Amino acid sequence: MRQSLGILGFVICLRLTAASMTVSAAETGEQDFAKGEALLKKQQYAEARTMLEAGIMKNSSNVQAHFNLAEACRGLAAWACAEEHYETALHLDAKSRTTGMRDLRLRRLEVWRSLEEVTAWRLLEEAKELIAGGHTEPDQMKKAEEALDGANELGLNQEQQTVYQQLQAKLPGRPSTTVLDSLKPSETPMALVPAGEFTMGSTMADDEKPVHRVYLDAFSMDKYHVTVGQYAKYLEATDKEAPPEWDIMNQPRHQKRPVVNISWSEAALYCKWAGKRLPTEAEWEKAARGTDGRLYPWGNERPTRLHANFGKKEWANHMALVPVGMFEMGKSPYGIYDMAGNAWEWVNDWYDHDYYKKSPAKNPQGPTKGKSKVVRGGNWLYLQEFLRSSFRFNAEPSSRQFGYGFRCAKTP
């Protein structure tokens, strides 16, 4: 009798445990996620979206589920939905890496590429809706222009480029793409940095000491890195030799991204051709941090993905870089973009570890000779330490890296 009761109790326990596991799986959405993924593989996007959304209602922290939902929405051309869930997947993935969790790891560069594509489609759709019906109200047309500009800055594929041109042609008084792209290098946007003193250097690294005051005459700085599209025009006009991997960089979707793999002398020659010059190290630092001694172009807040492009691991055929001018929150006090991250920037000065100890207080030009040149600003590969506006790095002038780019300066 006791043996029978024991067996009966064991069976009941097993059933309760199985029921508990079933309820647990249902509550956490795992069954929904599995069904949704299977439907996604069959390209049954509407059914997959419904199932995945049901699962996420139960468990909103599953990285793969958000990614799969983004893929389903992308298949349905539901661009806002796809954008939201790609962003959520990236956020959750970054959070799991920070906390050391060994959950599924996304191929982040591929996800960023998909995110840029669906965001561009969303903006094109917004512009299309605003233009539809022939309405010409100024506020609607302004919003449509902003949507088109935003899409174009992300870098458009061939299909998107066709839609973009069709929509742009419908805007009253809108200059054509060819007119916008035909600006001479000397006419590209620059920011004026007024004459005056600023605080240069920091106590955070030996070659940044001592902190000292420097007076600079007024100068102008390019608001953006020199882009692939701009460098392509330079090569066409001068018949200069293209940098390595040029065929990879010079693709339609990369035209608005910074050109990289550029040596110091190539950067200097481009600026000279454009009627400009490379900035001095002091000019670069003032343009980046202003006169209040801030750590980063935007202030003292630690870098985030809203401020700069950084922390990636692979060049990924130029997809590691983002189109110039993307980070409104990362602008310098003078309205200059991407002075932290995206691409290191060559400056004119030779590098000397102890130069600040003997640097003149007015318009320093750097050492008269040396073995390496200064690069500033960090790039897509490096972490927060390299994004500080006072951080100094150096490289041989002939060096070519997938993170070395530049911008130009000019004396008024």
Does residue 2 register a pLDDT over 60? no
Q: Are residues 307 and 204 in the same domain?
A: yes
| Residues whose CB falls within 8 Å of the CB of residue 70, separated by 6 or more in sequence, listed in order | 81, 82, 83, 84, 85, 86, 89, 114, 118
| Last residue in a domain, options 117, 145, 176 | 176
Q: Which of 60-74, 159-173, 384-398 has the lowest mean pLDDT?
A: 159-173
Q: What backbone phi and psi angles, to 5 degrees, belong to 393?
A: -135, 160
User: Which two three-digit tokens encode residue 68?
Assistant: 């799969």
Asked if residue 62 has pLDDT above 70, the reply is yes
257 residue type, one letter: R
Number of domains in the chain: 3
Angle at 27 between CA 23 and CA 32, to 5 degrees: 105
**For residue 12, what pLDDT is reported?**
39
Residue 156 belongs to domain spanning: 125-176
pTM of the model: 0.63
| Same domain, yes or no: 340 and 198 | yes
Which of these ranges, 161-170, 182-191, 235-244, 265-274, has the smallest mean pLDDT?
182-191
**21 neighbors 30 (Cβ within 8 angstroms):** no
276 has a pLDDT exceeding 70: yes
Are 172 and 204 in a shared domain? no
Are 86 and 137 in the same domain?
no
Q: Which residues of 194-210 are buried (b: 16+ CB within 10 A; e: fewer)?
A: eeeebbbbbeeeebbee
Spell out the residues 6+ positions from residue 127 whose beta carbon is closer than 8 angstroms to its own: 144, 145, 147, 148, 151, 167
Co-location of 365 and 386 in the same domain: yes
Q: Please give the radius of gyration of the chain, using alpha carbons only, rounded to the nearest integer.
A: 26
- Phi and psi for 375 in degrees, rounded to 5? -125, 150
204 and 303 share one domain = yes
pLDDT tens-place string over residues 13-42:
444 444 444 445 446 689 999 999 999 999
H or E segment at 394?
strand 393-395
Nearby residues of 283 by Cβ (< 8 Å), 6 or more positions away: 193, 216, 219, 221, 347, 409
**Residue 375: inside a domain, yes or no?**
yes
- Rounded Cα distance between 409 and 216, Å, is 13
pLDDT at residue number 27: 63
pLDDT above 70 for 362: yes
Is a pLDDT exceeding 60 seen at residue 124?
A: yes
CB 258 within 8 A of CB 153: no
369 within some domain: yes
Mean pLDDT confidence for 265-272: 97
In this structure, is residue 54 part of a structural domain? yes
Mean pLDDT of 110-137: 83
Cis peptide before 210 (omega within 30 of 0): yes
Is there a single domain that holds both residue 233 and residue 306?
yes
Position 15 in a domain: no
pLDDT of residue 133: 65
Q: Using one digit for the tens of pLDDT, what is the confidence trace for 155-212?
A: 777 788 788 878 887 876 554 444 335 556 656 899 999 999 999 999 999 999 999 9
Domain boundary among 145, 176, 207: 176
- Number of H-type helices and E-type strands within the chain: 13, 9
Mean pLDDT of 214-230: 96
User: 192 with 257, same domain?
Assistant: yes
Share of the chain above pLDDT 90, in %: 61
What ranges in 174-227 are assigned the alpha helix state H?
Answer: 177-181
pLDDT exceeds 80 at position 89: yes
